[in-house]
Amino acid sequence: MPDYSLVPVDYQPDFGGYSLVPVDYDPFAADGLAQQAQIQQPPTPAQPAQPQPQPQQPATGAGQPGVTGPATGNSPSGSGGGAGVGNAGIGPSNTTWAQGGAPAFTPLDGYANPTPTESLVNQAQKEPKKVQVDLVTADSSADRGSSDIHQKIVDRASVQIGSGDWHFNVAKGNFGPNKDKCNLFVYDMLTDAGASPGLPNGHWWNPYPPTAENWADPSFAIPGWRVLGSGESPQPGDVVGQRIQWENGATGHVMIVGPNATFIGVGTSEKIESVAPKTMGGIYPDPKTRPGGLLVYRRYEH
């Protein structure tokens, strides 16, 4: 990484007219985040960067802010899994997203705006040790079985940050070299964590995992993975997909929702990266030319 600040202070992307999140509010834009970030609480005592067995933290229930957040469960298409009703997890006031000085996000129709003082990529890279802290707190509202899976997903994905195993020009599984593998990474992490989305594509003798486009299509049923409904907020361990039709035929991008308001997946470097949520489509000054559909989140529920 370059050793200089790369964030133009006056850079204000225009995201007007776009809504990428098919839920009512941006979970990464809670007011509390900014406040927490400014307070700069001392980091929680040394947490290892590597995944650890999940500590047996008691669910705090009603005392935990945000755990009873809105959960209308109205899936955009009425398909794609369960009803989406129940504990939605982290609500707008929940501070778990902000632990460790998470960056302040500005709600811009589903986009997160970078803080003017430092690249969020840099911040995310400085915060790998917060992974376990946030997860422990974040899963306190859900049933333990699902939470274990969600944590495992994040654990598995976090361990791979920096890995080039899913690089475009590396062969992996039945994906040869010079092929996109963002969906293969997600599939591998989910399967390793016990939440396989199945292999819906291809032939039975040579099947393939869901594509990014599949993940981003609310009407495409992925067993065990329901589409988050309106009012639900993404949690670590969820999957986010976006359909983007690129000129070379690629159909979108898919990543895993990580802790501290991050996405984990194949990044611009082709290695596994942890990045702050942003338009999956990328850098488009002109909204009219910005490709990409809604961000569609899914959650594993068995």
Partner 1 sequence: MPRTLIWLLLCSGCVFGCCTGAAAAGPSSGSETGSLSEAGRYQAYAGNVIALDRLDQASLTVSVYSYLGSERFQKLVDASVESPELCIRFLSEKKYTEGQRRIAILAMYKLSIDQYVSFVGNLAKLRDKALISPEELQHALFPRFSVDMIYENYEDKRIRLLLGEMEARDDIRPDLKSEIARILSGEALEERRRFYRECCSVLH
User: For binding to partner 1 (CB under 8 A), which residues are involved?
Assistant: 1-2, 6-8, 11, 13, 112, 114, 119-122, 168-171, 175-179, 182, 200-204, 206-208, 211, 213, 244, 246-251, 253, 255, 263, 265-270, 273, 275-286, 289-291
Residue 86 or 200: the one with the smaller Cβ distance to partner 1 is 200
Do the beta carbons of residue 183 and residue 254 sit within 8 Å?
yes
Residue 112 or 294: the one with the smaller Cβ distance to partner 1 is 112
Shortest Å, Cβ 170 to partner 1: 7
Shortest Å, Cβ 286 to partner 1: 7
Shortest Å, Cβ 266 to partner 1: 7
Residue 51 or 200: the one with the smaller Cβ distance to partner 1 is 200
- For residue 53, report the phi and psi dihedrals to the nearest 5 degrees: -55, 140
Shortest Å, Cβ 55 to partner 1: 30
Shortest Å, Cβ 296 to partner 1: 15
Residue 133 or 272: the one with the smaller Cβ distance to partner 1 is 272
Left, alpha or beta for 168 (phi > 0: left; psi -120 to 50: alpha)? alpha
Shortest Å, Cβ 112 to partner 1: 8
CA-CA distance, 151 to 259, in Å (whole number)?
A: 10
Shortest Å, Cβ 142 to partner 1: 26
Residue 162 or 207: the one with the smaller Cβ distance to partner 1 is 207
Shortest Å, Cβ 289 to partner 1: 6
Residue 2 or 63: the one with the smaller Cβ distance to partner 1 is 2
Say which amino acid occupies 175: F
Residue 65 or 168: the one with the smaller Cβ distance to partner 1 is 168
Q: Report the 10 Å Cβ neighbour count for 18.
A: 17
**CA 84, 99, 3, 271: dihedral to nearest 10 degrees?**
-30
Please tell me the total number of residues recorded for the chain in this structure: 302
Residue 120 or 195: the one with the smaller Cβ distance to partner 1 is 120
